[in-house]
Chains A and B, each alone.
Chain A
Amino acid sequence: MFCSQCGSENPDAAAFCVKCGKPFGAPSSAPQQPQVQPPAGVKPAAVPPPQIESHMLGAILSTLFCCLPFGIIAIIYAAQVSDLVAAGNYAAAAEKSAKAKNWIWAAIICNLLGWVITVASIVIFVFYSTVNA
């Protein structure tokens, strides 16, 4: 069983994730259920994989609007998340997911910094031109 929050592997009977402590629902309501074989021809309803955010949407938006190549790094990590989830390596996927998120924030913060510097330089320019006038 993999934790739906951090992706780390846990014993099937665990009540809480060994890594991040996320509770796995009430144990009384989760008796061991035998794997039901799906009828032939029907796509097997596999165990739902842990929901690891790829952050692809945020990565694309930060590439579009933050005008710094950091967004592209976020796209690479986001694509790697989908690779690792497909390979079943949820712990590594969670790691890449966190990195994608960090690069999105780096792009946003750099962009905001650019705006702060711009606004500050306009204020300083206007201030000096009024003082000199």
Chain B
Amino acid sequence: MSKEENRTPSAFPPRKRLIAAAVFAVAAAGAAFLYFHPPGEFKFYPGCLFFKLTGLYCPACGNTRALYRLLHGDLPGSLHMNPMLVPLLLLAALLFCKPELSRSRAVGWTAFWVVAAFWVLRNIPVFPFTLLAPGG
């Protein structure tokens, strides 16, 4: 009886499974489209609104080009455009496989401080930091 009550609910209740399936479907469709439409040749990608408004890079600037290169197996090229795409994708995969980690304070605050530091540093137009900017 007490075992039955104390059992934690399934990590993926039906509603969450539906959301996960929708996210996967959109991601697969987006990735398939991106694979055949390189961001350099096709001008219709919206680009970063934050960059257009402020002239500063956001933490995700360069992600379209980075993901295009990653989809074509070009890991160095991907890191060149946005060095945070691959690590954050790995973290997302980890959180998806181990949902209890998303309640970890260490993981949460590390993710925040790394992304915040990355955001600031990639906007510094001096040599070592220019490596973090798109195409750097």
Contact = CB atoms under 8 A, between A and B. Distances in A.
Interface of A: 4, 25, 29-30, 33, 45, 47-48, 51-52, 54-57, 60-61, 63-69, 71-72, 75-76, 78-79, 81-83, 85-86, 110, 114-115, 117-119, 122
B1 A29 contact: yes
Nearest to A31: B1
Interface of B: 1-2, 5-6, 8-9, 23, 44-46, 48-50, 58-61, 63, 84-85, 88-89, 91-92, 95-96, 99, 102-105, 107-109, 111-112, 115-116, 119
B5 A78 contact: no
B89 A75 contact: no
Given A57-B92, A60-B92, 17 more contacts: A4-B9, A56-B95, A56-B111, A63-B115, A64-B84, A65-B63, A67-B58, A67-B61, A67-B63, A68-B50, A71-B60, A72-B116, A72-B119, A79-B112, A82-B104, A83-B105, A114-B46
A67 B49 contact: yes
A76 B116 CA distance: 10
Given A56-B111, A72-B112, A72-B115, A48 B8 contact: yes
